[in-house]
Amino acid sequence: MQATHSSPVPPMPYLSLQLSTPIPPALARLLAGTLTGLTVAILGKKRELTAVSVTPLPAGFWFVGAEVVGGGGPATYHLEIVITEGSNSAQEKADFIAAAHSALASALGPLTPACYIVIRDVDGRAWGYSGLTQAARRREASTADLP
């Protein structure tokens, strides 16, 4: 499903993936590429504006129910994506969550049920790109289109 957007400013997301277990750099790169692809395909974001950070924690630093997770058993993750408020529908977000979880499960192997994906809709006046808020970028783009 390809998202459609009426905003003159390309939507720009930031994704932060935390993992309960160490992974090799090649897998981090694969995960970043996969999440970027899903963000483009499902949420309609621009690839060149999509930033992804992957943070694997050392073994013994993630807990569920006060028990260590990822020490050779099933792993878990927390994925957070920040997007501009109103840039995606509830269905697009649900599709992204399902596809991202499926992709992470395929790449990471067995997972605990305590895996989280959070989509933060942030007001365009409260976050920005390259030193400009999304609201300012939108204003600049709309005035640039004027004759």
- Residue 2 falls within a domain, yes or no? no
Contact 47, 85 (CB under 8 A): no
Report the pLDDT value the prediction gives residue 2, as an integer from 0 to 100. Answer: 47
In tens, the pLDDT along 3-39 reads 544 444 556 799 999 999 999 999 999 999 999 999 9
- Residue 121 falls within a domain, yes or no? yes
Read off the CATH number of the domain in which 95 is found. 3.30.429.10
Report the pLDDT value the prediction gives residue 50, as an integer from 0 to 100. Answer: 95
- Residue 7 falls within a domain, yes or no? no
Q: How far apart are CA 138 and CA 130, in angstroms?
A: 13
Tokens of 17: 């993936």
Is the overall model pTM greater than 0.75, yes or no? yes
Per the structure, the complete domain to which residue 119 belongs is given by 14-144
Q: How many domains would you assign to the chain?
A: 1
In tens, the pLDDT along 58-85 reads 988 999 899 888 777 899 999 999 999 9
